Structure 1
Amino acid sequence: MRVLLVDDHPLILSALQSVIQGIGDDVVVTGVATARAAREALAQKQGDYDLVLLDLALGDANGFDLLADLRQTYPALPVVVISASDRTSDVIRAIDMGAMGFVPKRASNDTLCEALRLVMAGSVYVPPMSMGMDSGLEAAAPGVPGQARASVGGVAAQANYQTQPSLASLGLTPRQTDVLALLLQGKPNKLIARELNLSVETVKDHVAAVLRALGVNSRTQAVLAVSQITQQYGSFSTWRSPTPH
């Protein structure tokens, strides 16, 4: 696995390189300190990278702007944000823009490794204790019932949080499961329809059914909810059986 690490702080860059390379003998980490260097590295060897770790605070660019650029230019390349911030609003914004994970820099080495493992297995990682701890979730998801926010946030604000269902128990059809898998990759309805050979209207119906099953009312909330469930019950790919095309 080849990882591109983007962080403009030399000590953190070096420390993160050591931690990530310790995941396995086949892990190779390339560290760069600027958005420009990241773009150049990807342009030169875009097919060589399996994952990008991106700091939001870069000296030459806004990390969110670079995230948007990477998701637009390399839609198949997963990006994990690693940041000194763990504000709910930043987590939701990053996931909404297509990041496959968000790891606070205060997290342990084990947490970082687990987050990367989940992402490479096709799941999404968000910090479970940051969600729902400030007003950002309420602002980002107006009108969402409190129980749904607790489920999405992973914080036991209600006593029945522990009864959160596993993905396998949601009752999704195989086709809805396929749609959810592509939705988690940040793909819009048109691309999902093209990949699954469905009409856009049929995809919309499947997306609506998935959101109902998860108890949420937006794609971002669905991604966050699935992240919390997979952290409890295992990665999405461990129970998903691809539908034959």
Structure 2
Amino acid sequence: MQVLLVDAFPMVRAALTALIEQHFAGAQVLGVDSAAAARAALERQVPRLVLLDLRVDGGLELMNQIHQQHLLLPVVVISGSDDTEDALQALGAGAMGYVPERSDLGTLVQALHLVLAGGTYVPPLKRLADEPAPVSAEPGQAWAELPLTPRQKGVLDLLARGLSNKEIARELNIGVETVKDHVAAVLKALGANSRTQAVLIATQKRGR
């Protein structure tokens, strides 16, 4: 498995490289310190996964470019911020995961496994952590005020748990293509560009 790691700090690249090689058998990590070097690496070979620190000069532009040119290439953003708006910006640009640097190493490994399996990872973020938990555990109850059908709310519940389309299909006993239709409808209704962004937007609306 080829991994492209984009971070300006040599010590961070070394630590993350060691972590990935330890927890992902056969992983080969290419660490670069700039957006220009990342673009050159992508031209030579498209990796299985990209880890990106958006504080790299031109990092957000690189994120947008990867999303446009390599739509199926999963990108996990490593960030020094745990603010919801920063996460929305990254996820809106196409990231499949957002991991604040305050997260422990186990959380990062879990997030990478989830994204590689086709899911999305959203951590407890600063403005979300203070919101009360939903009173009812009934499927879709947390999204009662959203303009979604009951089935779409159920799909949103499973998206919030990080499930992939195949896992959602098994959970709801429906076809994968039907899941895709429901996910597309959820994204359209919430004005979201990605599954993870939809979860964040929905959580924000719930807290209003």
| Superposed pair shares fold, TM > 0.5 | yes
Structure 2 unaligned regions, length at least 5 = 141-156, 159-167, 201-208
Give me the TM-score of the superposition, normalised by structure 1. Answer: 0.62
Judging changes above 3 Å, is the alpha-carbon distance between structure 1 residues 220 and 70 closer, same or farther for their aligned structure 2 residues? closer
Task: Give the root-mean-square deviation of aligned CA atoms.
Answer: 2.8
Matching of residue 30 in structure 1 with residue 26 in structure 2: no
Matches within 5 A, 1:57-76: 57-58=55-56, 61-76=57-72
Choose which of 52, 55, 74 in structure 1 pairs with 2:53: 55
Counterpart of 1:132 in 2: which secondary structure?
helix
Choose which of 106, 113, 126 in structure 2 pairs with 1:110: 106
Matching of residue 11 in structure 1 with residue 11 in structure 2: yes
Q: Which runs of 4+ in 1 moved over 6 A?
A: none
Judging changes above 3 Å, is the alpha-carbon distance between structure 1 residues 161 and 28 closer, same or farther for their aligned structure 2 residues? farther
Judging changes above 3 Å, is the alpha-carbon distance between structure 1 residues 21 and 13 closer, same or farther for their aligned structure 2 residues? same
Structure 1 unaligned regions, length at least 5 = 134-154, 184-206, 228-245
Partner in structure 2 of residue 44 of structure 1: 44
Matching of residue 157 in structure 1 with residue 170 in structure 2: no
Matches within 5 A, 1:98-177: 98-133=94-129, 157-160=132-135, 162-163=137-138, 167=158, 168=168, 173-174=174-175, 175-177=177-179
Percentage of pairs with the same residue: 38
Choose which of 215, 219, 225 in structure 1 pairs with 2:192: 219
Q: Distance in 2 between matches of 1:39 and 1:87?
A: 28
What CA deviation, in whole Å up to 9, does each residue of 1:124-153 have, x standing for no partner? 1011243525xxxxxxxxxxxxxxxxxxxx
Judging changes above 3 Å, is the alpha-carbon distance between structure 1 residues 45 and 88 closer, same or farther for their aligned structure 2 residues? same
Give me the TM-score of the superposition, normalised by structure 2. Answer: 0.72
Judging changes above 3 Å, is the alpha-carbon distance between structure 1 residues 156 and 110 closer, same or farther for their aligned structure 2 residues? same
Deviation for aligned residue 1:107:
0.8
Judging changes above 3 Å, is the alpha-carbon distance between structure 1 residues 211 and 52 closer, same or farther for their aligned structure 2 residues? closer
Partner in structure 2 of residue 178 of structure 1: 180
Q: How many residues align?
A: 173
